Amino acid sequence: MSSQRKPAGDTVISVTGLTNTFGEQHVHENLDLEVKRGEILGVVGGSGTGKSVLMRSIIGLQPFSAGHIEVLGHNTAGLDEAAAKDLRRKWGVLFQDGALFSTLTVAENIQVPMREFFNLPPALMNEISGYKVAMVGLPIDAAPKYPSQLSGGMRKRAGLARALSLDPELLFLDEPTAGLDPISAANFDTLIKTLRDTLGLTVFLITHDLDTLYAICDRVAVLGDQKVLKVGTIDELLEFDHPWVQAYFKGPRGRAAHKGQD
């Protein structure tokens, strides 16, 4: 585990010419994107622009029609089973609403990746899962509870603890603050930024939350018209002359989020 944030700069995710097609529907057409080491990259776009499809393509859950994806220097389409498994160990994923296994406790959910990749004694797995529970700000008595016994915010933190189970280099987050009240959402944003800085993570973050974009994202990628329209800081996006981008960042909510950072 890294104790310091690694310097940003080199590319850890490279997507080139990505095409995703579902029947007659083209979600992505020749999409390009780079994610730099150590950054929190926000991914935004209107409904149907394929934000989650892009993430699933990168982590190998969505076969794509054409293109090239490299993660940590490896072509994801050209790996044998053992190499692909080794690469998957280097990232963690928080799906929407945590996506916890309802019949497993929080501790058991956190231990799922450990059981998949390693053969660890139960006592060690219990110790590690307890550490992960504390890392994401959950009380230790959350470990033996089931997802149905947790609030929505606690379920997301439990899902985050599972995503961090194997000390990954990359963290993928799909709408992590959706459904949270403003205070809980702000606290979750702070947690993500702290974990990035402390553990040296690179974060790929799908969100609709303008407050999150302003608070923690180093750059933002805007999806639209079947591709990435623009990648840049929010200041750069504010100057980008595209109707959706202007409406998104300069609409009432965008102005409120901007004002909140002043």
Which pLDDT score, from 0 to 100, does residue 24 have?
A: 82
- Give the number of other Cβ atoms within 10 Å of residue 126's Cβ: 16
CB 220 within 8 A of CB 41: yes
| Domains recognised in the chain with CATH numbers | 38-61+80-260 (3.40.50.300)
Nearest to 213 by CA among 179, 254, 170: 254
Which pLDDT score, from 0 to 100, does residue 259 have?
A: 57
What's the average pLDDT block by block, 10 residues per block, for the chain (262 residues)? 47 96 90 97 94 95 93 90 92 87 96 93 96 96 96 93 96 94 94 96 96 96 96 94 91 63 61
* Pairs from 27-34 (Cβ < 8 Å, separation ≥ 24): 27/53, 27/226, 28/53, 28/54, 28/57, 28/64, 28/226, 28/227, 29/226, 29/227, 30/67, 30/226, 30/227, 31/67, 31/223, 31/226, 31/227, 31/228, 32/227, 32/228, 33/221, 33/228, 33/231, 34/231
pTM of the model: 0.91
Tell the burial category of 17 from Cβ atoms under 10 Å away from its Cβ (0-12, 13-18, 19+).
middle
Which pLDDT score, from 0 to 100, does residue 209 have?
A: 93
